Structure 1
Amino acid sequence: MTVYSLAPGWPRLLSALGLDPQAVLRQAGLPADLLRSPGARIGAEDFFALWEAAETLYPGPDLAVALASAVSADHFDAAVFAGLASRDLAQAAERIAVYKRLIYPVTLDVRTDAGLRIALRPRTPFTPPTVLERFELLFWVAFARLATGARIRPVRITVPDPPDDQTAVADFLDGGVLTHGPPAVVFSPSDMRQPFDTAVHSDMWAHLEIDLRRRLRTLEQSATWTDRTHAALLTCLPAGRRTLADVAHHLATTPRTLQRRLEAENTSFQKVLAETRERLARAYLRRTPLSNTEIAFLIGYGELTSFHRALRQWTGQTPRGLRPA
């Protein structure tokens, strides 16, 4: 899906880290009441912008380390708490990977053939902010320590862009540092199988599993055809597929049926296409160094002038005006 729930503890966590939640929202260009809205849901682009804003305003040396250091059972979403009901870290990673999409626009690829390797893979056309990647990987170290009661240290953590100053990271990892590579954390076979001190009775897991599966079904069933069309376009547009027929095929329906379902939701394929292109254009301009020509191609425009004209119609600005200063 393309929208994600914000945990209700965000304001409290931001404040505990010395951040003003309202200032973070302003920096991210998000509504001032977003964090006060029960069950608030935002798209992946806005979710990433929230993390980037928090990092920009954070007064300390490393927000990812600060967040990982603050990990406790009190702050967990049910999907993560389910991990504490596991036998060991390997089982916890496999369980959490199934339900991760309830709370994050990131997929976990879990392998247990030679120790435990947890890799991050985005579910949108955009790479997560580096601070989010670092936290996601450091989180697993904090989680393993919390669950086992042992000072577990990973075999290695790789990220595409390691920070220059890793003093805070080294303190957290007991001398370890982040090295260059695809975003992933690796634990030894012995740490992977170390029993959890916090493992709970199987009845508790059964209860959690029922609730989490219900939430997944609700998420899937509540998706409108507008949401599904937008999600399909995120995949189709970069591949050069932008027609009603292309998207209908991707959604395993017919063009006529898709158009009828969109009309029932008071919209149209062309309107969803334009909205998706605008969202992609804003995100590419704000979050990537891609050239205007490359962005035009990725959102389905064969000519740069057509992209410029559409962008001015959507935003009243040129590409230069939407790029960060």
Structure 2
Amino acid sequence: MSNTERTTSSSWANAIIQALELEGLDGRQLFSELQLDPLLLKDPDARIPQDQMTRLWQRAVVQSGNPAIGLNMARVIRPAHFNVVAFSLMSSSSLREGFMRIVRYQRIIGEAADIALQPLPDRYRLELAIHGDTLPAAAQSHDAVMAYAIAFCRWMTGQQLIPLEASFTYPQPADTSAYAALFGCPLLFGAPRYSLTFSRDVMEAPLATGNAALAQAHDRLAGEYLARFEHSRVTHQARQVLCRLLPQGEPKRLAVAGALRMSTRTLQRRLQEEGNSFQQLLDETRRELALQYLGQPQLTLLEVAYLLGFADPSNFFRAFKRWFGMPPGQYREQLKAGTAPKIDEVT
């Protein structure tokens, strides 16, 4: 196991939330119950710990009573759920080429997923494994990826594609009707792997949306995104830990390092390598959250101060004036009047 936790992109987490809401659940409430800030879902660069996504699926199954709830992902198809990878995928010349791009850029969508495309004599098999950190990944995580994959293929081709086979590692459920309705192919439970198998004709058929020039441009964008993600991985993860810990008081370096499964010295070194420091990151995180919280009128200034981890509200007021040149109350009044400066104009 690596010394930092695996994460899922906020884009994919958004898709999961939408799938849960199709079951009548309050996805964002479930998110909050796991002490995850729903505002992370609005940040395209945010990452969600894989174990928390596992807990999200577990709660969803308990509340819905539907162990096949992951199949709802087939009903929430949006290119944005794949982040920048979607554009590269959509300009691919064939499904085969598109799946190869998913394999190449899968870490952007989620670090916990291990996807492989296996060429066989007369078919291709898309194999999937999702790894947890301290918790085994939920079966619903695998169902969700497989459901989304077949639905996206149908959306891309405009055809009701039917796989040759869909396989699952868990025992056959009592009711397989939802699986049969979605995949429309032979189902294999208790299999050695999760997989979808397609004929070569289906996988190699030209796509109407294929465009080599666009695919090359989108590959470059996806490669740059992946490079930025790899370069600033600890900064992103530490920021998420800070968001989670701030409502409990000012987080200590030791607590953040512990959450990331590294020593405080390693945390400081990794942050320095990414051009940051713990104190600078704490200050920036509080600064960004302050503006988000002040935009929620139901929160009092005292509540905002405590949510930002300030034990003494006067320290929050001084910090806000240092950040933005005005007291938080004045900024909120300007916000209500529609005269507040844009975030990037506030100094």
Question: What is the TM-score with the length of structure 1 in the denominator?
Answer: 0.62
Which residue in the other structure is 1:122 paired with?
130
> Quick check: 1:169–1:176 contact (8 Å CA) kept in 2?
no
Structure 1 residue 266: Cα displacement: 6.0
Equivalent residues in 2 for 1:154-303, closer than 5 Å: 154-161=163-170, 162-174=172-184, 176-181=186-191, 182-197=193-208, 199-224=209-234, 261=269
Q: State the shift of 1:42 in Å.
A: 1.8
Query: 2:115 is aligned with what amino acid?
Result: L
Aligned residue runs from structure 1 range 309-324, under 5 A:
none
For residues 26 and 226 of structure 1, the distance between their equivalents in structure 2, rounded to whole angstroms, comes to 20
Q: CA deviation at 1:106?
A: 0.4
For 1:116 and 1:263, how far apart are their aligned partners in 2? 42
- Is contact 1:19-1:54 (8 Å) kept? yes
In the aligned structure 2, how far is the partner of 1:185 from the partner of 1:211? 28
Shift of 1:84: 2.0
2:145 corresponds to which letter in structure 1? E
**Quick one: percent identity of the two aligned structures?**
20
Q: Distance in 2 between matches of 1:143 and 1:184?
A: 15
| 2:8 counterpart letter in structure 1 | Y
Aligned to 2:9: 5
3-state secondary structure, aligned to 2:127:
strand
Q: 1:66 to 1:178 in 2, by over 3 A?
A: farther
SS of aligned partner of 2:128: strand
Higher mean C-alpha displacement, 92-101 vs 131-140? 131-140
SS, match of residue 35 in structure 1: helix
Q: Return the index of the structure with the highest Cα Rg.
A: 2
- Check if 1:131 corresponds to 2:140: yes
**What do the CA deviations read for 1:205-225 (whole angstroms, capped 9, x no partner)?**
122111110111101111349
SS of the aligned residue for 1:180 comes to: coil
CA distance in 1, matches of 2:38, 2:199: 44
Shift of 1:120: 1.5
Whether 2:91 is the aligned partner of 1:82: answer no
Distance verdict in 2 for CA 1:38–1:140, change over 3 Å:
closer
Equivalent position of 2:156 in the other structure: 147
Counterpart residue type for residue 143 of structure 2? R
Verify the 8 A CA contact 1:82 1:208 in the aligned structure 2: yes
List alignment gaps of at least 5 residues for structure 1.
229-254, 268-325
Does structure 1 residue 106 correspond to structure 2 residue 117? no
Cα distance in structure 1, aligned partners of 2:27 and 2:198: 35
Q: Which runs of 5+ in 2 are unaligned?
A: 239-262, 280-347
Quote the Cα distance in structure 2 between the aligned partners of 1:263 and 1:95: 30
Corresponding letter in the other structure for 2:88: A
Does the aligned pair in 1 maintain the 2:116–2:126 contact within 8 Å? Answer: yes
Alpha-carbon RMSD across the aligned residues, in angstroms, is 3.4
- Aligned equivalents of 2:140, 2:190: Cα separation in 1: 15
Distance in 2, matches of 1:58 and 1:100, equals 29
| Residue 59 (structure 1) shift | 6.8
- SS of 1:112's equivalent? strand
- Answer whether contact 1:28 1:53 (CA < 8 A) is retained: no
* Partner of residue 21, structure 1: 27
Whichever residue aligns with residue 168 of structure 1, its letter is A
Task: Note the 1:36-51 alignment, pairs <5 A.
Answer: 36=42, 39-51=45-57
CA 90–221 in structure 1, closer or farther in 2 if over 3 Å, else same: same
User: In the aligned structure 2, how far is the partner of 1:225 from the partner of 1:37?
Assistant: 15
Listed one character per residue, the Cα deviations across residues 175-233 of structure 1 (whole Å, up to 9, x for unaligned) are 54342211111112222212223x232222122111110111101111349979xxxxx
Aligned pair count reads 239
- What is the distance in 2 between the residues matched to 1:14 and 1:194? 33
Instruction: Tell me: CA distance 1:68–1:178, structure 2 relative to 1, closer, same or farther (3 Å).
Output: farther
Amino acid at match of 1:131: Q
Asked if structure 1 preserves the Cα contact closer than 8 Å seen for 2:8 and 2:48, the reply is: yes
Between 1:115-124 and 1:2-11, the stretch displaced more is 2-11
Residue 177 of structure 2 aligns to which amino acid in structure 1? T
Are the equivalent residues in 2 in contact too, given 1:88–1:192 (CA < 8 A)? yes
Residue deviations 1:45-77 (CA, integer Å, cap 9, x gap): 112222333333347673222211332446543
Residues of 2 paired with 1:259 and 1:76: CA distance? 29
Q: What amino acid sits opposite 1:188 in the alignment?
A: S
Change (3 A) 1:160 1:211: same
